Chain A
Amino acid sequence: MSLFLLGLGLIALGGILSLIPRVPRVLASAVCNGLMILGCAVGVVPAIQVLAGGPLPSLNMPWSVPAGQIELLIDPLSALFLLLHFIVCGSAVMFGIPYFSSYEKTQSLKPVRFFTSILIISIALTFTAQNTILFLGAWELMALSTFFLVIFEDRQERVRKAGFLYLIMSHTGTLCLFVVFLLLGRQAGSLGFSQMAHNKDLLAVGTPIFLLALVGFGVKAGFMPIHFWLQEAHPAAPTPVSAIMSGVVIKCGIYGLVRVISFFPTLPAWWGIVLIMIGTTSGILGVVWALAQHDFKRLLAYHSIENIGIIVLGLGFGCLGLSLNNPVVAMLGLAGGLWHTLNHGLFKSLLFLGAGSIYHATGSREIDQMGGLWKKMPWTGFCFLVGSVAICGIPPLNGFVSEWLIYNASFVLGIHNSNFCFVLGVPVLALIGVLAAACFTKVFGVLFLGNARTEAAVEAQEGGALMLIPMLFLASLCFAIGLFPGVFLPAMSRVITVFSSVEAGEFHQVAMNQAGMLAWIGWLSVGILAVIGVLALVRRLFLVGKPVSASATWGCGYALPSPRMQYTASSYAQFSTLMFRAVLRPLVHMKRITSLFPAAGSFESHSPDAVLDRFIPRLAAILRRVLYRVRDFQHGRVQFYLAYVLLFLILLLVWEFHGVSLLWKKIFLLDAVTKVPPP
């Protein structure tokens, strides 16, 4: 525990020192960011120790807040999320040093550093808190510090709007969480998590707790109908912050949901089904909207929704396995879902950092304005490629490992049960995977390959070592998990024992069996790399001594091809999005070319968010229409208002004295004793 606290202390020190005025820029940046990175490096150690099977560090101190207690515990579930948290935050902070320095002339960086340190600490506390008050306090602190980081560029109206949207949504979620934890606390008789776990009394209020937790944590995680702050806030925030948000902040929602579910000693089967449905919706719709985007940060934000869908799908299968007493499915589903949380945190923050690096180099977020960046930024390109392959769940990288587990959960469940919902996971995952591949071939192909489409893309260059080191670090982790998944499985099986409904002994056996399968996956990944290496060598040998010449790309006989003629992100995705136009309903603005000597034509299309841009305005319009009627009551005549008061009082009186039933009985003579005719 002391290492964990030391890490938090270093991060806090970094944040506080940033507030000192009149420090030279370079010194301030080096000290504050250095302390934060060091703190993350220290903090990750206890997480690894716990995952490796070490004793669980805990801290227990009285706190003057009523019913509050400073109770921290790093159990394996917390450790998994802490591991991800410190890795992502450390990388993002390091990436932020050169990234933010370009803003230094126009803006003070003090708030960024201060709120980053607050954010890191509050998330770490969220993951370790064992007391409701502490948890909710840390949760709130996290929401607020994220808000201040999102509105970093607050001179733009779009950014302010996105920030407020985030704040509103986040607090709506927190409102539900208050109810969730009050219900839990009342039922368990204590606000401590340790009394809530394994508590059979909780089942009595299981349904409202589960549904409210779905909403409360789902807002943060980005479940599909309540996701709509995400695709606004992620592009608005500065990129290192987006990386933390997508890598860790939305995972807090998953953590909270898993933590609440883990309290219950038995789970109703319909919880699993609901989770599977949410996962399916978020997964498919998230990636469909991603496919239609051409702002790369917005696209990545939609992919976060998709991956949250995959995670929830895995958790759903796991919960179903627990309810149906099928430990194999439970193990596969839960391990797959939680592992995908870790994997997604790694490759998504990698992709966001890559996107930030491109934004830093070109000053644009439009995919269609890039092209040919591989030649200018080969390292960023390589890291982005690793992230792209990983996020599509393609071997030999880490995305495949977790998706393989979730696929297996669905397959095993489908073999043993004749329920349509159970087998649905397989084609759904396949569809998500292939859509993600379509989307990332688009992103990578249009950003990095071909010819540069604009001047900015021609002049792009790498952002320096401090940008590349975090990206290469994250990319190497993606490789490590993909190549040696067997090493990480014991840690995952420890994480799963946190669930109250899991019997540790039974699961150990299942985990051992799964470790055997995962060893195959590891060998498969190594094999892929080896065969690629051998074939590359063979190709080189065939080319030795042969003429290798350069010639222009074949242009269908056209003599003057220009970079603008290349396929763009929009044209590449057009054929695929055509199939989904019923749900996407893209807006197209087009100036057609009509006459023989036409004026300049143009084409523009974008796909607005279904909830934020279509449903909510419509809902608001209906609400406004209904509420207009209510205005008739408010006409400013005092005597009528007095009449309202009187009417209300009478209603209250009737209500209070059960007058309604009395009146009813009086009118219809229900109390009157009818004469019974003599027999």
Chain B
Amino acid sequence: MLMRFVSVAVALLAAPLLPGLINKTKSAFAGRKGPPVLQLYFDLAKLLKKGAVYSPVTTWIFRAGPVVSLASYLIASLFVPFGGDSFLSFSGDVIAFAYLLGLARFFTVLAALDTGSSFEGMGASREVTFSILAEPTIFILFIVLARISGSLSLSHMVTPEQVLMNPSTVGLLLLIVFSLFVVCLAENSRIPVDDPATHLELTMIHEVMVLDHSGPDLAFILYGASLKLFLMVSLLAHLLFPIRAANSAQGWLLFGILVAIVTISIGIVESAMARLRMVRIPRLLIAACMIAIFAMIIGLR
């Protein structure tokens, strides 16, 4: 129990490292020095020290948005294994995991609409549109994983050791990883779907929705976003090397390396690709969905 607690605590503390690592990768590709890896920690510390500015249009929904979304991510992190067993695990927790992300999205979108700005309404509209494609994809992947692992608990599903007994499912796993990687890029507003580096282009999604937040609220949002990225990257990391290790030093080390690999590959994708035009993004997500359906058809054999 203590070990599980430690692994969740370490994960929660390490989450802000990921955006830093991505930025470092991108800087390396661009031949720049780039911001330090710990930059997000500095930003969070600075924001928490500040006061806040609220628009008179807003109500307490606007203030509740960051709190509710961060709370959902925190609880969702209890179901995700970080190199060992997850903190909590029960049959069907995978549905709870997905719907907690849904709760976060619901309130983030409402907070954006609360400002009465058409700019943020635009971002909210795009966010829900892309989630319409991303969410079923995630669930299709979940059902394939459930069939491989024979379990409905997230920590067992992302470490399907059965794959090792049956090498023919390795290809299946690759399809799943690819599809989940695309969904991960979309859900965490990374290039080629969204560009987290700019605020003021009319093509933004997530950054537009949180434009009016400031101070501790913004800190909650930034931390929540990094935690969400960490959760999805952890799922990918486990799927890349589907062996369950009890909470042990080797297990954590391996997990850390895999997380770094996935994060750096996100950075590489961001460096190598341009952001897609808005109308192209649904096509990318539909492609991910189709690959997931292929995986489901193969998995149904």
A interface with B by C-beta (< 8 Å):
371-372, 374-375, 385, 389, 392-395, 400, 404, 407-408, 411-412, 414-415, 418-420, 423, 426-431, 433-435, 437-438, 440-441, 444-446, 448-451, 517, 520-521, 524, 527-528, 531-532, 535-536, 539, 542-543, 546-556, 561, 563, 565-567, 571-576, 579
Q: Are A438 and B131 in contact (CB under 8 A)?
A: yes
Report the Cα distance A576→B281, complex, angstroms. Answer: 13
Q: Mark B131-148, 1 if CB is under 8 A from A, else 0.
A: 111011011101100110
- Tell which of B49, B54, B58 touches A548, judged by Cβ atoms closer than 8 Å: B54
Q: Any chain A CB within 8 A of the CB of B115?
A: yes
Report the Cα distance A97→B228, complex, angstroms. Answer: 48
Q: Any chain A CB within 8 A of the CB of B36?
A: no
Residues of chain B with a CB closer than 8 A to A546's CB? 49-52, 215
A373 to chain B, nearest CB (A): 10
Residues of chain B with a CB closer than 8 A to A445's CB? 109-110, 113-114, 121, 124
Residues of chain A with a CB closer than 8 A to B56's CB? 550, 552
Q: Any chain A CB within 8 A of the CB of B67?
A: yes
Q: Any chain A CB within 8 A of the CB of B74?
A: yes
Residue of B nearest to A388 (CB): B106
Residues of chain B with a CB closer than 8 A to A420's CB? 297, 300
Q: Any chain A CB within 8 A of the CB of B32?
A: no
17 CB-based A-B contacts, threshold 8 Å = A374-B61, A394-B106, A395-B100, A411-B92, A411-B143, A427-B139, A433-B102, A445-B109, A517-B91, A528-B75, A535-B70, A539-B66, A542-B216, A543-B216, A548-B52, A566-B117, A572-B113
B92 to chain A, nearest CB (A): 5
Q: Which chain B residues numbered 116 to 169 have a C-beta less than 8 Å away from chain A?
A: 116-119, 121-122, 124-126, 128-129, 131-133, 135-136, 138-140, 142-143, 146-147, 150, 152
Known A531-B75, A550-B53, A572-B124; judge A450-B114 contact (CB<8 A): yes
B288 to chain A, nearest CB (A): 13
Report the Cα distance A429→B75, complex, angstroms. Answer: 22
Q: Any chain A CB within 8 A of the CB of B57?
A: yes
Residues of chain A with a CB closer than 8 A to B215's CB? 542-543, 546
Known A394-B103, A430-B135, A576-B128; judge A550-B55 contact (CB<8 A): yes
B193 to chain A, nearest CB (A): 14
Q: Mark B65-102, 1 if CB is under 8 A from A, else 0.
A: 01110111011000000000000001111011011101
How many inter-chain contacts with C-beta < 8 Å in the A-B complex?
Answer: 234
Residues of chain B with a CB closer than 8 A to A448's CB? 59, 61
Q: Are B55 and A414 in contact (CB under 8 A)?
A: no
A400 to chain B, nearest CB (A): 6
Q: Are B135 and A450 in contact (CB under 8 A)?
A: no
Q: Are B124 and A567 in contact (CB under 8 A)?
A: yes
**Given A426-B142, A430-B138, 7 more pairs with CB closer than 8 A:** A389-B103, A407-B95, A428-B136, A441-B106, A441-B113, A528-B71, A561-B117
Known A400-B99, A435-B132; judge A451-B57 contact (CB<8 A): yes
**Across the A-B interface, the 9 shortest Cβ-Cβ residue pairs:** A567-B121, A445-B113, A450-B116, A546-B51, A547-B51, A430-B139, A438-B128, A553-B55, A434-B135
Residues of chain A with a CB closer than 8 A to B122's CB? 567
B187 to chain A, nearest CB (A): 12
- Tell which of A446, A451, A575 touches B129, judged by Cβ atoms closer than 8 Å: A575
Known A539-B217, A549-B53; judge A532-B121 contact (CB<8 A): no
A568 to chain B, nearest CB (A): 8
Q: Are B48 and A542 in contact (CB under 8 A)?
A: yes
Q: Are A576 and B57 in contact (CB under 8 A)?
A: no
Residue of A nearest to B92 (CB): A408
Residue of B nearest to A400 (CB): B99
Known A394-B102, A566-B116; judge A374-B59 contact (CB<8 A): yes
Report the Cα distance A524→B93, complex, angstroms. Answer: 10
Report the Cα distance A428→B140, complex, angstroms. Answer: 10
Report the Cα distance A423→B147, complex, angstroms. Answer: 10
Residues of chain B with a CB closer than 8 A to A428's CB? 136
Report the Cα distance A293→B124, complex, angstroms. Answer: 18
Residue of B nearest to A535 (CB): B67
Residue of B nearest to A394 (CB): B103
Report the Cα distance A286→B121, complex, angstroms. Answer: 24
B interface with A by C-beta (< 8 Å):
48-59, 61, 63-64, 66-68, 70-72, 74-75, 90-93, 95-96, 98-100, 102-103, 105-106, 109-110, 113-119, 121-122, 124-126, 128-129, 131-133, 135-136, 138-140, 142-143, 146-147, 150, 152, 200, 211-212, 215-217, 220, 282, 296-297, 300-301
Interface of A is mostly: helix
Q: Are B116 and A574 in contact (CB under 8 A)?
A: no
Q: Are A427 and B136 in contact (CB under 8 A)?
A: yes
Q: Are B124 and A426 in contact (CB under 8 A)?
A: no
- Tell which of A451, A549, A550, A556 touches B119, judged by Cβ atoms closer than 8 Å: A556
Residues of chain B with a CB closer than 8 A to A389's CB? 103, 106
Report the Cα distance A552→B211, complex, angstroms. Answer: 13
Report the Cα distance A385→B124, complex, angstroms. Answer: 17
Known A426-B140, A546-B52; judge A567-B61 contact (CB<8 A): no
Q: Are A430 and B212 in contact (CB under 8 A)?
A: no
Residue of B nearest to A580 (CB): B132
Known A411-B152, A430-B138, A567-B118; judge A543-B52 contact (CB<8 A): yes
Report the Cα distance A418→B118, complex, angstroms. Answer: 47
Q: Are B71 and A449 in contact (CB under 8 A)?
A: no
Residues of chain B with a CB closer than 8 A to A430's CB? 98, 135-136, 138-139
Known A438-B128, A438-B132; judge A549-B51 contact (CB<8 A): yes
Q: Are A579 and B282 in contact (CB under 8 A)?
A: yes
A554 to chain B, nearest CB (A): 6
A351 to chain B, nearest CB (A): 15
Residues of chain A with a CB closer than 8 A to B51's CB? 543, 546-549
Residues of chain A with a CB closer than 8 A to B105's CB? 437
Residues of chain A with a CB closer than 8 A to B103's CB? 389, 394-395, 528
B93 to chain A, nearest CB (A): 7
Residues of chain A with a CB closer than 8 A to B136's CB? 427-428, 430-431, 434
Report the Cα distance A554→B113, complex, angstroms. Answer: 13
Residues of chain A with a CB closer than 8 A to B50's CB? 546
- Tell which of B98, B125, B220 touches A572, judged by Cβ atoms closer than 8 Å: B125
Residues of chain B with a CB closer than 8 A to A431's CB? 132, 135-136
Q: Are B102 and A407 in contact (CB under 8 A)?
A: no
Residues of chain B with a CB closer than 8 A to A550's CB? 53-56
Residues of chain B with a CB closer than 8 A to A551's CB? 53-55
Q: Are A574 and B99 in contact (CB under 8 A)?
A: no
